[in-house]
Structure 1
Amino acid sequence: MEAGKLKQYVVNDLSKLSKIYIGEELDPLELIDLVPESLERARNLLERALGKKVEPYECDELCMTLGYKIAVIVAAVLKDKWLQNKLANFVAMEIAKSLNKDDLVSTITLLRKLGYDVTDLDEPLQVPIKVHRGVVLPEVYPVKIHLISYVKLAKRFLSDPHWKVVNKPLLNGFVYLKPDEIIRLAQEAVYSKVIQDVKEIGNLEVSDLPNRLREIVEELSSAIRKTVVKRKRVEESVKGLYPEALPPCIKSIYARALEGANLSHQERFTLATFLLNIGLDVDEVLEVFSRAPDFNEKIARYQIEHLAGLRGSRKKYSPPSCKTLVSWNLCPTKEECKANHPLSEYKRRLRARRKSDAQGNGSDIEGVSRMDGGTRER
């Protein structure tokens, strides 16, 4: 299965490819000339990451590995974080699909290669949870992971009660997990690895590449860039929002949302409730989140409508206070703010902008939402 092969390609270094597969070291251009179909593999991977409905391009192991590495180079050269996040999320999900809950050897091996302290247990930990008709029924945990590794991998969803350390078996510095949980963490590990691979390339410019490699990357980049531009549905300024007045906490999350970052549950809740409370409607908020690498419109719409008070208890949620955001480690710098709540700070900054604009020193604030969500000023 194509997805099943991906996991070994993520952990192989490009400089080692020819040595691993053909027994001698070749430079990247010689390797690409030897395996030209790797270019089609790279294009196919990037297109599928961006949602194009095409069949996976099948080829041998060296081709698949080299194709992944070329795709990463293209994503880095384009300097588009949305594309980079989409690629990372796609690769991670493809690998997660290939992992088997009934045989965790591949999952454990993958996590170890990526540097995480994980052990499969010969005798799984069994924790009694209830008695049914006189029989004690246990929860079974066949894997343990060091607490530090666990926190690194689960950091995006540690606010979820299911993933909180206090709700997990913890013995001698190790967290014990069920099969589906360790596979979920492996998905996070692969996502982080792809992003790391992109970052390690650095601020590479196409002009820095050797001629032949530059031609290859330019050709692939040109085709992918068209798809990226076509699929970016969110403008830098959302109607009804004045980005320059955003408090630092919201500005940071908002910028990452537009980049297609995998936001944590806390970040998504904070941003969605803030945008709803400054007057954006459900569709406008949905547009902001549409860049998320795991975006599902049906699920996202339901969640946003729930926060807006249109479903469930009909209660409209407010964004967290500054104190809560500090406790969630989502406050980049409290020193810049004079209020104790993001909404109050946004309102204060809007007033300052309007005053400055009235004096002829500010920028146009047309389209800013009223704090009560009413008619936008023109």
Structure 2
Amino acid sequence: MRTESCGISELVSKYPFTRSGRSIIEEVGIRVSELMSREFEPIVNDALRMLEALIKNGEHAKLNFSVRDVAVSRYIAYVLTASMDKRIWRRIADSESKIFSNMVKLSYLNKPNLECIKEVARELELRIIGVGEVSSLVAKRLNLQGQVLMPKPFMYAVSIWDYLRNSPRNDPNWVLGTRPIIHGYILLTQHDVYRIIEEAVENKAITMISKLGSNLDLFKELIDSVNDRLKAIEESAPQVRYRVSRRVLPKGDPPCVTAIINELKAGGNPSHMARFTLATYMLHRCVAEGKEREECVDEVLEPFTHAADYNEKITRYQVEHLAGLRGGRKFYTPPSCQELNSLGLCPTNLGCGVKNPIQFIRGSTKVEGAE
């Protein structure tokens, strides 16, 4: 079964890093010297609009406008992205990956189709098979008749090397040791396979943008011609809006918090528990400095502005909830060091000598709920 019969050929052909998308780019035979021509002007404008929508609205970007040669427009959008701040690279890749995986998910929400998922994976150079195929491989190796029963609720399997390249970083739920490994494959649930596809798209987009970035001299004339508009687009990015902040966290923060902040600054995607830990720690530290919780919310937002998926409205609401300004009005405390260590979020393996990160705050000797 090919992409045509699966109904996803239109989707995958819109991305220049898929097999279908690459074929379109090769057929068009883009010449750098032609990008400034009147023929390419509509496509360049489409690329700029696409870039602006992805930066401003992330995964909620409306990309259903009528465009000509979508894969070519996306290719040019990536060229323009390569000339911008690297945090923009991550924003674009993160947005593209979520949009792509959501489209795949919507296509098979009520009727998962193994062959179609495999075809999407092949477009991204992933090797994904069904658990039935894994079962047959094991049975054949053990000279058994029929198939070996596979644990539920796993439906798919991905080769271990593709898993290592495309599993979410710093998320304890994706640590290799927590996953069933059978015959060189990692078993996946339906939800897992969508996440692997999402991560693969993000990696593909970042890789393509990076390669284009190393050859920007070829596109200098094009970039210079739209430079003013690019600057305006970059300024519209939520995380860039806060770049002027120079607040430096005081010395003495716990290693787990420092590691989460460094990951965010590097454009990473910390797990939910890592973000919870950072937000609650910073709120308590800010209050310990004598400030009102309402004042502290803006301070806590700053490190999160570096995240690729940063959304000010959503993040502000979540921080206000943790500060006890919304919902049940509970002022949340960071998880215990024991819990953080069990989740792989303690860089020192319980070597800090405290029971809760909050005890690093000057003057905090005992905190309710921090045992």
- Whether these two folds match at TM > 0.5 is yes
2:80 is paired with a residue of what secondary structure?
helix
CA shift digits 1:319-349 (9 cap, x unpaired): 6649956982663xx6xxx9545666675xx
User: In 2 relative to 1, CA 72–230 (structure 1 residues): closer, same or farther, beyond 3 Å?
Assistant: same
Residues 279-318 of structure 1 aligned to structure 2 (within 5 Å) = 279=286, 281=293, 283-284=297-298, 285-295=300-310, 300=315, 303-304=318-319, 307-308=322-323, 314=330, 316-318=332-334
2: CA distance between counterparts of 1:21 and 1:3? Answer: 16
Residues 169-184 of structure 1 aligned to structure 2 (within 5 Å) = 169-184=180-195
CA shift digits 1:266-304 (9 cap, x unpaired): 432332233123126462324543553434567645654
The partner residue of 2:272 within 234, 244, 265 is 265
* TM-aligned CA deviation for residue 88 of structure 1: 1.1
Does structure 1 conserve the Cα–Cα contact (< 8 Å) formed by 2:56 and 2:236? no
User: In 2 relative to 1, CA 10–278 (structure 1 residues): closer, same or farther, beyond 3 Å?
Assistant: same
1: CA distance between counterparts of 2:334 and 2:239? Answer: 34
Residue 245 of structure 2 aligns with an amino acid whose one-letter code is: E
Residues 1-378 of structure 1 aligned to structure 2 (within 5 Å) = 4-5=11-12, 8-11=15-18, 18=25, 20-22=26-28, 25-30=29-34, 33=37, 34-51=39-56, 56-60=64-68, 63-81=69-87, 83-99=88-104, 100-101=107-108, 102-120=112-130, 139=152, 141-156=154-169, 158-160=171-173, 169-202=180-213, 208-209=217-218, 212-216=221-225, 218-228=227-237, 232-233=241-242, 235-238=244-247, 242=249, 246=253, 250-258=257-265, 261-279=268-286, 281=293, 283-284=297-298, 285-295=300-310, 300=315, 303-304=318-319, 307-308=322-323, 314=330, 316-318=332-334, 321=337, 324=340, 328=344, 331=347, 340=353
TM-score scaled by structure 2? Answer: 0.67
Does structure 2 conserve the Cα–Cα contact (< 8 Å) formed by 1:246 and 1:346? yes
Residue 142 of structure 1 aligns with an amino acid whose one-letter code is: M
Residue 133 of structure 1 aligns with which residue? none
* TM-aligned CA deviation for residue 85 of structure 1: 2.0
* TM-aligned CA deviation for residue 119 of structure 1: 1.5
* TM-aligned CA deviation for residue 96 of structure 1: 1.3
User: In 2 relative to 1, CA 302–224 (structure 1 residues): closer, same or farther, beyond 3 Å?
Assistant: closer
1: CA distance between counterparts of 2:162 and 2:9? Answer: 28
1: CA distance between counterparts of 2:183 and 2:90? Answer: 35
User: In 2 relative to 1, CA 67–286 (structure 1 residues): closer, same or farther, beyond 3 Å?
Assistant: same
1:237 is paired with a residue of what secondary structure?
coil
Does structure 2 conserve the Cα–Cα contact (< 8 Å) formed by 1:124 and 1:142? no
CA shift digits 1:103-152 (9 cap, x unpaired): 35454334334343322456797xxxxxxxxxxxx945432112343344
Of 259-268 and 313-322, the range deviating more from structure 2:
313-322
Does structure 2 conserve the Cα–Cα contact (< 8 Å) formed by 1:236 and 1:258? no
Does structure 2 conserve the Cα–Cα contact (< 8 Å) formed by 1:277 and 1:371? no
CA shift digits 1:35-70 (9 cap, x unpaired): 33221221122111123576534334xx32222222
Does structure 1 conserve the Cα–Cα contact (< 8 Å) formed by 2:234 and 2:240? no
* TM-aligned CA deviation for residue 95 of structure 1: 0.8
* TM-aligned CA deviation for residue 237 of structure 1: 3.3
Residue 317 of structure 1 aligns with an amino acid whose one-letter code is: T
Structure 2, unaligned stretches of length 5 or more?
Answer: 1-7, 136-150, 288-292, 366-371
Of 298-307 and 195-204, the range deviating more from structure 2:
298-307
* TM-aligned CA deviation for residue 187 of structure 1: 0.9
TM-score scaled by structure 1? Answer: 0.66
CA shift digits 1:224-280 (9 cap, x unpaired): 234238962464334xx6356656653453244356532223432332233123126
Of 279-288 and 66-75, the range deviating more from structure 2:
279-288
Does structure 1 conserve the Cα–Cα contact (< 8 Å) formed by 2:79 and 2:213? no
User: In 2 relative to 1, CA 328–182 (structure 1 residues): closer, same or farther, beyond 3 Å?
Assistant: same
Does structure 1 conserve the Cα–Cα contact (< 8 Å) formed by 2:82 and 2:210? yes
Of 51-60 and 179-188, the range deviating more from structure 2:
51-60
Does structure 2 conserve the Cα–Cα contact (< 8 Å) formed by 1:6 and 1:91? no
Does structure 2 conserve the Cα–Cα contact (< 8 Å) formed by 1:75 and 1:198? yes
User: In 2 relative to 1, CA 140–229 (structure 1 residues): closer, same or farther, beyond 3 Å?
Assistant: closer
User: In 2 relative to 1, CA 31–21 (structure 1 residues): closer, same or farther, beyond 3 Å?
Assistant: farther
Residue correspondences, number: 322
Residue 354 of structure 1 aligns with which residue? none
1: CA distance between counterparts of 2:261 and 2:244? Answer: 12
Does structure 2 conserve the Cα–Cα contact (< 8 Å) formed by 1:253 and 1:271? yes
CA shift digits 1:132-174 (9 cap, x unpaired): xxxxxx94543211234334433347424xx566665542232
